């Protein structure tokens, strides 16, 4: 029987300048309040207000941005956390589980992870991710490095091509090529918090945003025991040693997840499903009447007392009873949201408690709201209607294609920096302006000082005389470009692309 003690998981120490000695309940709460301040006041959170959820470059303020979405997720996460703690208290399990004095930090960690969960997303969301990964794949060809050195290796970077008799170095080249072609918002979030913004958050707070446990350089299928937890990259090679230390501090298994991350994930799933449909009605992609019909048709067999009737039909009937037709939309979504939360939040809490042993160990290989229940069916209903009628809408698809072109175009524009030799780029970094490199010098000046500093600090740790130096230097140079472009807001990326392409 596993011993569950959350005092070993809710680790309030930090990577740097960590509080020392034993702490009282009040002092521990203050440490997590400090985390809240660092997160809420960070520029990464502020930038979310100009990154949109579904509709890039949207001028209608009623349509969600990543920031308003994250605030909604934060509220749902708090609700689930409180529900779990309330049930554990009723069952008199708070003290046995080591949560007697940690209910405040438990809630705070979940809330702040929810607020931060999208900070690593690039402009234009998943299409931005796809553009970055496609661009690098077309130059690094990681599949050509999967086996032995090939004479036909298409990698455009000589330092990253596999060579006969250099097995140790070839392993590093494989790792780097794979890693750079698997940009992912969740992994970038870890990089932002630790390497770029140096927020020095508590181990528990960072652990809660490590949503996926697969390293970005992973090749082949993940083990069946962890195929859900490892379905996407969760961190990069650049943060490998930090994640190793994080696992140690939080007593995580090699591919295990931090227990409270399941709550953050459930909160996100509940929030975005309803939100995407509401935004589509706000954008006039379909009317609220058409939406109800889409939901009704997609549910399948209708029975009296089903979850659909308790949630969707109930919201529809209540909104219809309102005599002011203009408020029907608002009323419908208010009731739909309330009904959905009132059903799914208790179920998520129940699933968390029922699977506590596996979740505590970090080994529960499912989402809380992913099973064969009607609750999971309701979430799938919302997602399927959004996929069929929102994401495939011509306006949405056109915006996504434009976003893909903008990110690809910006990478093309900054590619001269990646074409420089190690020596030339090192000279540019040191002098900041090199007369024989007029284009590269101007591009380098446009990069954020924070990102340039992260590059300088990373490469300063390596011996330039070692054979792995050109590989590692190029890796961090690519990270520098990915950091800069992925950190842009939708609007800034759009404006920057137009300015540099001279299409004003």
Q: Which residues are catalytic?
A: 69, 117-118, 268, 442
State the Cα–Cα distance between residues 239 and 209, nearest whole angstrom. 14
Q: Which residues are paired to 65 by β-bridges?
A: 52
* Residue 74: both structure tokens together: 């934060």
Contact predicate 182/133, CB 8 Å: yes
Could you give the angle at the alpha carbon of 7 between the alpha carbons of 6 and 11, nearest 5°?
105
462 CB-contact burial (10 Å; exposed 0-12 / middle 13-18 / buried 19+):
middle
Cα–Cα nearest to 106, from 88, 89, 82, 90: 82
Distance between alpha carbon 99 and the CA centroid of its chain, in Å?
28
Query: Residue 159, Cα to own-chain centre: how many angstroms?
Result: 31
Mode of pairing for the β-strands spanning 233-235 and 214-215: parallel
Q: What's the rounded Cα separation, in Å, for the pair 159 and 3? A: 49
Rounded CA-CA distance 418/415 in Å is: 5
- Report d(CA 14, CA 450) in Å as an integer: 21
Asked whether the beta carbons of 181 and 133 are under 8 A apart, the reply is yes
Which of 216, 217, 208, 206 is closest to 242 using CA atoms? 206
């Amino acid at each position: 029987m596993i011993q569950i003690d959350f005092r070993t998981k809710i680790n309030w120490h930090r990577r740097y300048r960590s509080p020392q000695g034993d702490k009282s309940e009040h002092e521990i709460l203050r440490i997590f309040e400090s985390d809240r301040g660092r997160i809420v006041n960070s520029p990464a959170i502020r930038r979310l207000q100009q990154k949109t959820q579904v509709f890039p470059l949207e001028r209608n303020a009623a349509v969600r941005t990543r920031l308003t979405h994250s605030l909604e997720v934060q509220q749902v996460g708090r609700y689930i956390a409180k529900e779990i703690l309330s049930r554990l208290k009723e069952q008199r399990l708070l003290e046995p589980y080591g949560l007697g004095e940690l209910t405040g930090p438990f809630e705070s960690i979940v809330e702040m992870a929810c607020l931060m969960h999208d900070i690593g997303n690039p402009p234009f969301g998943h299409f931005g991710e796809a553009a970055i990964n496609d661009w690098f794949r077309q130059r690094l060809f990681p599949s050509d490095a999967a086996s032995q050195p090939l004479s036909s290796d298409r990698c455009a970077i000589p330092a990253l091509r596999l060579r006969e008799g250099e097995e140790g170095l070839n392993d590093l080249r494989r790792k780097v090529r794979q890693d750079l072609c698997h940009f992912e918002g969740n992994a970038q979030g870890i990089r932002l918090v630790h390497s770029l913004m140096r927020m020095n958050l508590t181990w528990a707070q960072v652990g809660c945003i490590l949503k996926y446990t697969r390293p970005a350089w992973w090749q082949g299928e993940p083990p069946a025991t962890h195929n859900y937890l490892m379905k996407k990259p969760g961190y990069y090679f650049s943060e490998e040693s930090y994640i190793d230390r994080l696992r140690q501090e939080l007593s995580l298994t090699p591919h295990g997840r931090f227990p409270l991350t399941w709550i953050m994930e459930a909160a996100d799933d509940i929030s975005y499903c309803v939100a995407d449909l509401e935004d589509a009605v706000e954008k006039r992609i379909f009317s609220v009447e058409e939406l109800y019909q889409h939901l009704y048709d997609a549910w399948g067999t209708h029975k009296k007392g089903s979850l659909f009737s308790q949630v969707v039909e109930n919201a529809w009937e209540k909104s219809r009873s309102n005599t002011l037709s203009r408020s029907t939309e608002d009323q419908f979504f208010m009731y739909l949201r309330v009904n959905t939360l009132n059903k799914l939040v208790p179920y998520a809490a129940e699933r968390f408690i029922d699977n506590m042993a596996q979740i505590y160990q970090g080994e529960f290989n499912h989402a809380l709201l992913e099973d064969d229940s009607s609750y999971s069916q309701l979430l799938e209903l919302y997602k399927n209607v959004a996929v069929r009628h929102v994401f495939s809408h011509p306006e949405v698809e056109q915006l996504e294609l434009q976003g893909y072109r903008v990110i690809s175009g910006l990478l093309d524009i900054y590619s001269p920096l990646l074409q420089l030799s190690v020596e030339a780029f090192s000279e540019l970094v040191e002098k900041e302006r090199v007369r024989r490199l007029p284009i590269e010098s101007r591009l380098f000046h446009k990069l954020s000082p924070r990102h340039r500093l992260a590059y300088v600090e990373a490469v300063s740790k390596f011996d330039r005389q070692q054979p792995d130096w050109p590989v590692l230097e190029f890796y961090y140079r690519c990270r520098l470009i990915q950091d800069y472009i992925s950190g842009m807001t939708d609007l800034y990326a759009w404006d920057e692309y137009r300015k540099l392409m001279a299409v004003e």
